[in-house]
Amino acid sequence: MEPHNDTQISEFLLLGFSEEPELQPLIFGLFLSMYLITVFGNLLIILLVISDSHLHTPMYFFLSNLSFVDICFTSTTIPKMLWNIKTQSKVITYEGCIAQIYFFILSAVLDIFLLTVMAYDRFVAICHPLYYTVIMNPRLCVLLVMVSWIVCILNSLLQSLMLLKLSFCTDVKVPHFFCDLSQMIQLACSDTFLNNMVMYFASVLWGGGPLAGILYSYSKIVSSIHKISSSQGKYKAFTTCASHLLIVSLFFCTSLGVYLSSAATHGSQSSATASVMYTAVTPMLNPFIYSLRNKDIKGAMKRFFVMESLKRPIILGLERCPWLL
């Protein structure tokens, strides 16, 4: 039977990774663990930055924003997939699909913007250390984050509204574990030329532009580190940006890997599997990279847990002896 235009499509089917029932508990357990680690790890980073005065610097202000966006990023896709596995249903409503695309694009592009802003922060810190506090003042930091949010909101809103104008065929099976914009455009029966043009243009603009900025910043950083005479000074300068460089490499390499994988195999299933790297694995690893490789975060973590351990007996003592209050 030939597919026909149907503008009244009310739901789609997310095919996920596998149709085999015996694999569903394994997939559920794996992604639930990854999601919980991501949420609690990034929440810990946010809590440490808020509570510890030693972390009230531009770099950690941007890091806390990145952690918040990473939580939103994974919360856009994984909870729905877990719910579908739990209820043994693959259905997502039309409205839910559009909302998922909107927040996915918003979080993904915002991640890129914040990584770019963090690269600029490291560039100023290493290349212009004497003017760092003057250039990276609180007003500029807030402005950079606000501009990033506004641009990303407008970009995701534009692409989501353009998707609303498309009509879809009776084949509503999405070969992915979430509503991916490119997959949805492929399912449309109406003319998708403008949607494809906007999608590719946005990918080049919001992906290539920030990447060029990051590469330029790190080229200047490497040049400045090379000019430092002492090996200890070089090591200290490198460690201030090592964690960020690792996260940037992880994010862009996994994103590039997904693109090359889908282009080489032309298989949506392999693309869905590869996309796990930047939608779930990268946000999960970010807190570990910053906590294991960053002395400031490790110090803040120790102070936080020491304070919590000291507060507990005091609170218990006050509860047992209320007359002391």
Domains and CATH numbers, the chain: 11-296 (1.20.1070.10)
d(CA 21, CA 67): 34
Q: How far is CA 275 from CA 109, 182, 237, 281, 315, in A?
A: 15, 13, 33, 9, 47
Closest CA to 161 of 207, 105, 112, 238: 105
d(CA 249, CA 206): 17
Q: How far is CA 241 from CA 164, 244, 284, 304, in A?
A: 42, 5, 19, 24
Mean pLDDT calculated for residue range 254-260:
70
- Is the pLDDT confidence value at 20 over 60? yes
Q: What is the pLDDT of residue 5?
A: 42
- Is the pLDDT confidence value at 249 over 50? yes
Residue 290 in tokens = 């910053």
Q: What are phi and psi of 132, to 5 degrees?
A: -60, -50
Mean pLDDT calculated for residue range 122-130:
91
Q: Please tell me the least confidently modeled range out of 1-10, 64-73, 206-215, 240-249.
A: 1-10
Mean pLDDT calculated for residue range 298-318:
65
Q: What is the pLDDT of residue 271?
A: 67
Mean pLDDT calculated for residue range 197-211:
91
Q: Please tell me the least confidently modeled range out of 22-31, 130-139, 161-170, 227-236.
A: 227-236
d(CA 317, CA 299): 28
Q: What is the pLDDT of residue 269?
A: 61
* Residue 103: band (very low, low, confident or very high) from pLDDT cuts 50, 70, 90: very high
Q: What is the pLDDT of residue 263?
A: 55
Q: What is the pLDDT of residue 297?
A: 80
DSSP codes joined into one string, 114-173: HHHHHHHHHHHHHHSGGGHHHHT-HHHHHHHHHHHHHHHHHHHHHHHHHHHT--B-S--E
In tens, the pLDDT along 136-195 reads 999 999 999 999 999 999 999 999 999 998 888 777 888 888 998 888 888 888 888 999
**Model confidence, pTM:** 0.87
Q: What is the pLDDT of residue 245?
A: 86
- Is the pLDDT confidence value at 197 over 90? yes
Q: What are phi and psi of 296, to 5 degrees?
A: -65, -45
Q: What is the pLDDT of residue 119?
A: 93
Share of the chain above pLDDT 90, in %: 46
Q: What is the pLDDT of residue 77?
A: 93
Q: What is the pLDDT of residue 313?
A: 57
